[in-house]
Amino acid sequence: MIRVPISEFLEIYLGAVLFWTFAVWFTANWMKRRREIRSRQLVIECNICGHAFRDPAQNSLTRCPSCGRLNERPAYSGL
Ligand SMILES: [Zn+2]
């Protein structure tokens, strides 16, 4: 059996808890950001009438359901 002083054990334990908490927080925020970027890519705002609509087809050109004009999908940077 390995003998470890209680102070070192507490340091290791608290360090592991802090690391795990940070890892969970970072992963949750990263996944939330990916979902937001993905949902923004599905929404297109018409250049003529300003109508915002969802287009899950992922085509580069999509037709506005309000005025019928073709709109380009905006390019988003990110993940
Ligand atoms: Zn329109």
CA 45 to ligand 1 centroid distance, Å: 8
7: left (phi > 0), else alpha (psi -120 to 50), else beta?
Answer: alpha
| Average pLDDT, 10 consecutive residues per value, the chain (79 residues) | 90 97 98 90 90 86 94 70
pLDDT of residue 2: 82
Instruction: Give the residue extent of every domain in the chain.
Output: 6-72
pLDDT of residue 79: 47
Q: Per the confidence metrics, is the pTM higher than 0.75?
A: no
- Which residues lie at CB < 5 A from ion ligand 1? 46, 48-49, 51, 64, 66-67
- CA 72 – ligand 1 centroid, Å: 12
